[in-house]
């Protein structure tokens, strides 16, 4: 797996930042307080979200108000998007993962979560995971690339 781009919105010191065309070997340098540790905490945050849940990942970092960029309101969202290349069914594919986290009624809510990549050489990327405000679907047999989209098994 190789990360190609990262886009961050309202994640700690990154109000609206992106890194594109990330090489296979990348060295991150900068002055103290420039955001190097915060950049790497994106991966720790995502791991904690997947291992535990979003609430615990936020609490580990001081809560939603500490993770969302300064100057943002409770109506704003934290957004993380990663694009990476990964071999799936013998083909090196560009995969996009997006998560948008907001605050509602005293707790965090996943406003949007998408995992997408192309099933074939042509066409638009297909959403294998697509959630919005607590509901959506996940494809259960995504690795069966020979099946048409109508035969994919969705789990709500």
CATH number of the domain bearing residue 21 = 3.40.50.300
pTM: 0.90
CA geometry: angle 102, 64, 18, nearest 5 deg? 70
Q: How far is CA 8 from the centre of its chain?
A: 9
- Residue 134's domain comprises 2-155
Q: With pLDDT > 70 as the criterion, what percentage of the chain qualifies?
A: 93
- What's the rounded Cα separation, in Å, for the pair 112 and 99? 6
- What pLDDT, on a 0 to 100 scale, did the predictor assign at position 63? 96
Query: 122 near 104, Cβ under 8 Å?
Result: no
- What's the rounded Cα separation, in Å, for the pair 136 and 126? 14
The count of domains in the chain is 1
Half-sphere exposure of 15 (CA within 13 A, CB side): 4
Q: What is the pLDDT of residues 94-136, one digit of tens each?
A: 999 999 999 998 899 999 999 998 877 777 788 889 999 988 9
């Amino acid at each position: 797996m190789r990360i190609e781009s990262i886009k961050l919105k309202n994640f700690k010191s990154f109000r609206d930042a992106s890194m594109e065309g990330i090489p296979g070997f990348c060295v991150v340098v900068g002055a103290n307080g420039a955001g190097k540790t915060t950049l790497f905490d994106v991966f720790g945050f995502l791991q904690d979200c997947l291992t535990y849940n979003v609430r615990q990942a936020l609490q580990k970092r001081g809560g939603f108000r500490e993770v969302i960029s300064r100057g943002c309101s409770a109506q704003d969202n934290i957004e993380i998007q990663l694009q990476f290349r990964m071999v799936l069914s013998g083909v090196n594919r560009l995969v996009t993962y997006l998560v948008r986290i907001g605050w509602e009624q005293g707790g965090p809510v996943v406003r949007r979560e998408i995992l997408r990549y192309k099933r074939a050489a042509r066409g638009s990327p297909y959403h294998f995971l697509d959630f919005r405000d607590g509901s959506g679907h996940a494809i259960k047999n995504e690795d069966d690339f020979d099946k048409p989209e109508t035969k994919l098994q969705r789990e709500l």
